[in-house]
Structure 1
């Protein structure tokens, strides 16, 4: 004698979902309400008449679009000279993530003529400052450099 115990009741047929809707043979053991029973009489699933509570899915951090990066700042520390052929610039990243910034440096002579303009990409860790050294190369003699100008806005690459 086989005993069958049910843990819930169903008053309607239109609210169930089936994981195997392709099986239509009598061997699946599904009754009209979607409760599955095997040949041995045990219950393989239950269908309750209580309402189903569904949680609202929330976006995971990785699926959210990244916030646009804020531009950083660039400050000239020292200009290139015959003693040190590098312009030194501090680049600050105000963002909460690592970013790459475009830094613009101009090398000028005593008359204000631009000997060379540079645009370099510099990686800066989140909420940090990086010191960048830019060689003055190919623009003429180092002794002709009178000053360097740095764009104070380090543009974040988006």
Structure 2
């Protein structure tokens, strides 16, 4: 008789453990989770057996009388990547080719030191023979994480190209924050 009591107790503990692990409980409805799944042991995640309302729940009939359900718990959204991400570092810009009358575009290579894609603003100054600035142009380019991109920038005007001696690129490509 003593063995039968142990066996019965073991079976009850085992059944309770299985029910707990599968998401069922003994009358308490705790089916919230961190990932938004129902966790209630249902075969479909789209099923919603908790018909509670935001005002504190509704009363459902059950085999042991009435059951007051609790409000449905939704997973708390985590902070967005933009809110928790580090500020962007500025990139670098290197002049690859200066504009000319034959091809009125300057070519600039922009490097992104960040671990995520970023938009950078690049500035090119068109200089005359005496070093004076004839025109400036700015343009933006999206560069992949830890990558580089080539940007072709239109010269400011053909009048400046007639007197153009050389181009100077701002070596700092400003990251748009």
In structure 1, the residue matched to 2:139 is 120
Structure of higher CA gyration radius: 1
Map 1:47-86 to 2 at 5 A: 60=78, 62=80, 64-86=83-105
Q: What is the aligned partner in structure 2 of residue 132 from structure 1?
A: 151
Are the aligned partners of 1:103 and 1:151 in contact in 2 as well (CA < 8 Å)?
yes
Deviations along 1:95-153, one digit per CA (max 9) or x if unpaired, are: 12111111111001111111101222222122211111111142515242110001100
Aligned residues: 121
The structure richer in helix per residue is 2
Q: What is the Cα-based RMSD across aligned positions, in Å? A: 3.3
Runs of 5+ unmatched residues, structure 2: 1-25, 28-52, 69-74
5+ long unaligned stretches in structure 1: 1-6, 9-18, 29-35, 46-56
> What residue is the counterpart of 2:6 in the other structure?
none
Partners of 1:150 and 1:141 in 2: CA distance: 16
In structure 2, do the counterparts of structure 1 residues 40 and 86 end up closer, same or farther at CA, with 3 Å as the change threshold? closer
RCO higher in structure (CA 8 A, sep ≥6): 1
What is the DSSP-based 3-state SS (H/G/I as helix, E as strand, rest coil) of the residue aligned with 1:140?
Answer: helix
Q: How high is the TM-score relative to the length of structure 1? A: 0.62
Question: Cα distance, 1:78 vs. partner?
Answer: 1.1
Per the alignment, do residues 146 and 21 of structure 1 end up closer, same or farther by CA in structure 2, a change over 3 Å counting? closer
In the alignment, the residues of structure 2 paired with residue 112 and residue 100 of structure 1 have an alpha-carbon distance, to the nearest angstrom, of 30
The answer on 1:154 being equivalent to 2:154 is no
What is the CA distance between 1:41 and its match in structure 2?
A: 2.8
